[in-house]
């Protein structure tokens, strides 16, 4: 059974139709990239999966996972960039998804330490978050998201605003989490070239219709051929 199944999901953004009857499923261990034009409802769909925004119709069902077991990295904002806290404090705050508490447990602290090491940020764990580069901040926020889950990460445009080298490193890191640590990944991105290199499934949300299938199947679609050329090779 699929970890997540979305069936004919319709959602509005304000009063405008954003998600237009999308159907797809996510299996354990998948790396799904959601691509498409602006205004096709990619970020809105993630919020629907998380229960942060209601569906107008359709269903989203879960198997073997609850919403509280999902790690979420939203689009970067100026507020996030200016967190007045240390790296360690930001990462540890990810344990708040397990329920509000005044004090963190030994398990909370152990989990935070593990994810700090996993994200390669142990050497900056005591630095102020707002003094870090954009790439470092994204690693910190991914470590924070991992404090909520060992199963599923939802990432909304995690490489926006990063230079090509940092973007490539971040994709490798996400792929490492997926392949070597068994974390299922759903990622919204405009970076189609890296998507087809690392993802095993693609959900392409377009104004003229959606596509869902394997990366190999996506490469044979008209949308992919417009991007990569007539033979559909990256």
Q: For residue 117, is it within any domain?
A: yes
Taking the model in full, what pTM does it have? Answer: 0.90
- Do residues 71 and 145 lie in contact, with contact meaning Cβ atoms separated by under 8 Å? yes
Q: What is the pLDDT of residue 98?
A: 55
- Do residues 65 and 151 lie in contact, with contact meaning Cβ atoms separated by under 8 Å? yes
Give, to the nearest 10 degrees, the angle between helix 164-181 and helix 134-146: 20
Q: What is the pLDDT of residue 102?
A: 67
pLDDT means over runs of 10, the chain (234 residues):
92 88 96 91 94 95 90 78 85 76 85 95 95 93 91 94 92 95 95 94 88 95 83 61
Q: For residue 222, is it within any domain?
A: no
Q: What is the pLDDT of residue 104?
A: 86
Q: For residue 86, is it within any domain?
A: yes
Q: For residue 56, is it within any domain?
A: no
Q: What is the pLDDT of residue 97?
A: 64
Q: For residue 128, is it within any domain?
A: yes
Residue 108 is part of which domain span? 81-150
Q: For residue 126, is it within any domain?
A: yes
Q: For residue 37, is it within any domain?
A: no
3 state DSSP class of 161: coil
In total, how many domains does the chain have?
1
pLDDT tens digits for range 140-179: 999 999 998 889 999 999 998 899 999 999 999 999 999 9
Rounded Cα distance between 122 and 147, Å, is 15
Q: For residue 125, is it within any domain?
A: yes
């Amino acid at each position: 059974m699929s970890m997540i199944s979305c069936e004919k999901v319709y959602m509005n953004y304000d009063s405008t139709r954003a998600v237009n009857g999308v159907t797809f499923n996510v299996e354990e261990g998948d790396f799904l990239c959601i691509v498409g034009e602006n205004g096709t409802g990619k970020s809105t769909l993630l919020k629907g999966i998380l229960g942060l925004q209601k569906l107008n119709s359709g269903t989203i069902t879960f198997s073997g996972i609850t919403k509280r077991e999902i790690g979420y990295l939203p689009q970067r904002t100026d507020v996030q960039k200016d967190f007045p806290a240390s790296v360690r404090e930001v990462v540890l705050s990810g344990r708040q998804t397990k329920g509000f508490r005044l004090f963190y447990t030994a398990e909370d602290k152990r989990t935070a330490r593990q994810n700090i090491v996993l994200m390669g940020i142990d050497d900056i764990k005591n630095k102020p978050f707002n003094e870090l580069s954009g790439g470092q901040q994204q690693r910190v926020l991914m470590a924070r998201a991992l404090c909520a889950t060992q199963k599923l990460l939802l990432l909304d445009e995690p490489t926006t605003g990063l230079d090509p080298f940092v973007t490539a490193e971040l994709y490798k890191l996400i792929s490492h989490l997926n392949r070597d640590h068994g974390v299922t990944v759903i990622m919204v991105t405009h970076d189609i070239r890296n998507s087809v290199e690392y993802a095993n499934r693609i959900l392409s949300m377009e104004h003229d219709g959606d596509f869902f299938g394997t990366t190999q199947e996506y490469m044979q679609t008209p949308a992919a051929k417009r991007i990569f050329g007539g033979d559909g090779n990256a």
